[in-house]
Amino acid sequence: QVQLQESGGDFVQAGGSLRLLCASSGNIFSINTMGWYRQAAGKHRELVATITSDETTTYTDSTKGRFTISRDNVRNMVYLQMNRLKPEDTAVYYCNFREVRAGPHTYPELWGRGTLVTVSS
pLDDT digits (tens, 9 = 90+) for 55-88: 999 999 999 999 999 999 999 999 999 999 999 9
Distance between CA atoms of 79 and 24, rounded to whole angstroms?
12
Over residues 26-50, the pLDDT tens digits come to 889 999 999 999 999 999 999 999 9
What are the residues facing 100 on neighbouring strands?
A: 31, 107
Strands annotated E in 41-104: 46-51, 57-59, 67-72, 77-82, 91-102
99-116 pLDDT, tens digit per residue, is: 999 989 999 999 999 999
Residue 118, beta-bridge partner list: 11
